[in-house]
Amino acid sequence: MSVSAVAADRSVCAPLPVLGRDVTVPLVTGGEVDYAALDYAASAPALQRVWDDVAAYAPYYGSVHRGAGYLSQLSTDLFENSRRTISDFLGCRADDQVVFTRSTTDSLNLLAAVLPQNTRVFVFETEHHASLLPWEQRADTPVTYLNAPRTPQQAVDTLEKALAEREPYGPALVCVTGASNVTGELWPVRELAAAAHAHGARIVLDAAQLAPHHPVDIAELNVDWAAFSGHKLYAPFGAGVLAGRADWLQDAEPYLAGGGASRKVSRRTDGGVDVEWHTTAARHEAGSPNVIGAYSIASACQALTEAGFDGLVAREQSLIARVRAGLAEVPEVKVLSLFGDDAPRVGVISFVVEGWNSSHFAAALSAEYGIGVRDGLFCAHPLVRTLLGSDPQDPGECGAPEAAPGERSLNAIRVSFGAGTPDEHIDRFLHAIKELVANGARWNYHTEDGRCVPAPAARSAV
C-alpha cells in the first residue's frame, strides 16, 4: 500500500485506541490542549483493549500454580495460556522457552547470568544500555565492543571479522538490537544471525523497539533468543520476556532461588538441603509471578496480531515520511542517522536544532504545545555521542541538560510514535517545530533539579 493510499484510507488504517487519548494538559501560555504523547520509544500508552482485558480478569485474580481453588486454577491457566500466546506471537520453535521477566533489561541480565563460563560476548557500541551493560557483571565473561557501523553491510562485516579473530575459540554470544532506540533504523538481524552461526556463536535480539512496530519471528530470523518489554508493546505493569533456546537456561543455576523455581527440596543428613530445580521456564521465575503483567503482554500481542501488522506498518511508514519531510523543511534541524536517509526504520527519530539546547527545546514543546517528547542521551550514551560528533567515551547523564537554555549541549531530542498516534499529534508537532525555530520560545525557562522547566510567570520577550 502506498503512502498516498494510506493517507486516503483512514478507515482501514486508523490509530488503535489507547489510554490517555482524551487527557488534557495545561499550557504555560494559558488554556489546555489534548496531550500529544510522542514518547512511545520510552513507554507506549496502553492499548484500550489491554486495559479492558485486564479489568475483566481482575475480579478473578488468584494465586498461580498448585492452588486448589477455582480462581487459582483460572489464574494458572491464564498465566500459561499467556505464555503460549506470546510464543506464537514471536514465532518460537517447538523447544524454545518463554520466560517472564520484569523488562528487557531484566531479560538480558538473566541471559548474562546463565552464560556458560568464559563465553565471549560481542556487542556494538550502538546498543541501548539494557543490552550494552549486563555482560560485564561477570568476571569470567570477556566482552568485545564493536564500533558503530555506518551501513548494514559494514555491521555484518565488522561482526564476521571480530568473530573470526576471537581466541580462544569457545562459546560466544552476539547481542544486537532489531531497531535503534535513537535513530529508529532497522538492523540486518537475519544477516547478523547467519554470520554469528557461521562462526559458532549464538545471538540474542533486543526486540524492545522492533516488536511494537514489526512482526518478530524468532525462527525466521534464526536468532537464538529475543527479549522485549511489555511497556513498549502497549502493555504496562512492569513485565518482560526472554524467549528462545532452552539449553543454557536449563544448565545454569536459577536466576533467583526460591519457591516456584524449585521442584523438590529435602533435608540432608548433614543438616543442609538438596534442591531439584525445574527444567522448564519456571526455573528462572522464582516467587509469585506477575500474572497481570504476563496477561497484559499476551493481550497486546493478540490485539496487534488481530489488527494486522501490514496495515499498522503501512500507516506508521506514512507518519514517518510526514515527520521526516516536515523536519527537512527546517534547515536548522539535523536528524541523526547511522545508515542514511534511505534506511528502513520504525517511528523513532532523533534530532538536534541549531542554536538550541535540546532540553530547552523539549521543555518548550511540552509547556507551550502540550507535546511530550524525550531529550537527553536515551540510555545509549556512546551512540548518541558518536552521532553528535563527540567522543563516545565522554560522560553524560540520561535526560539531564548539561548546559543552560540557549547553550549547546551534547544531547538530542527524540520523537517517537506508533499504532495509537493520531494524525493531529504529528501535525501539531511539525507546526511547533517550525514556530519555535522561527519565533523562539514564548516563555522563559531555567534548570531545576536537573531538568529544564518553565520559569514561574515569566514570559519571554519574544
SS3 content of the chain, % helix, strand, coil (to 5): 35, 20, 45
Residue in the block written with cell 565471549: 120
For the chain, what is the radius of gyration of the CA atoms? 23
Distances (CA, A) of 163 to 131, 169, 197, 199, 201: 18, 9, 10, 6, 8
Separation of alpha carbons 231 and 208, rounded Å: 9
Which one of the listed residues 301, 379, 398, 452 is annotated catalytic? 379
Contact (Cβ atoms closer than 8 angstroms) between residue 210 and residue 346: yes
Torsion angle, CA of 424/429/430/431, rounded to 10 degrees?
80
Q: How many CA atoms lie within 13 A of 102 on its CB side?
A: 10
Please confirm, yes or no, whether 379 is among the known catalytic residues: yes
CB within 8 A of 423, min separation 6: which ones? 10, 319
**Coil, strand or helix at 55:** helix
Q: Give the catalytic positions in this structure.
A: 379
